[in-house]
Amino acid sequence: MRIDRAAPDDVSSLAELLWLHHGQYTPDQDSVERFATDLAPWWQAHHHSHVAFVARLENPQIVGMAWVALVPRIPRPGTMVRLSADLQSVFVRPEH
């Protein structure tokens, strides 16, 4: 198994994992395909603040994910740019 930073080509797999992880709480969504269509532009707009990591098998099926939200922090003397990270939406397919 490999852990990689997700790429835009992974959006369908990420949508499926988010659907499996949270789908029972979002009855207003028609399908995982529709959700993937909605997720792609959202991620494009937020790619600087929300980074996705995926766990891949060798075939290279994606079986897990974790999202990291990067949040600006208050500056300190000597550095005006500081970030904090919030780990979100961690999910691995139950069979893995």
Q: Where are the domains of the chain?
A: 2-73+81-92
pTM of the model: 0.84
Is pLDDT above 60 for 17?
yes
Type of residue numbered 17 = L
pLDDT tens column, 23-39: 666 556 678 888 899 99
Matching residue, tokens 């970030």: 83
Greatest CA separation found in the chain?
A: 50
The pLDDT score that the predictor gives to residue 32 is 85
Q: What is the mean pLDDT of residues 38-60?
A: 94
Under CATH, which number does the domain 2-73+81-92 receive? 3.40.630.30
> For the chain, where are the alpha helices, taking DSSP H only?
11-22, 32-46
Nearest to 96 by CA among 53, 52, 36, 56: 56
The pLDDT score that the predictor gives to residue 80 is 95
Q: What is the mean pLDDT of residues 68-82?
A: 95
The pLDDT score that the predictor gives to residue 60 is 84
Give φ, ψ of 91 to 5 degrees.
-155, 140
Query: What is the chain's Cα-based Rg?
Result: 15
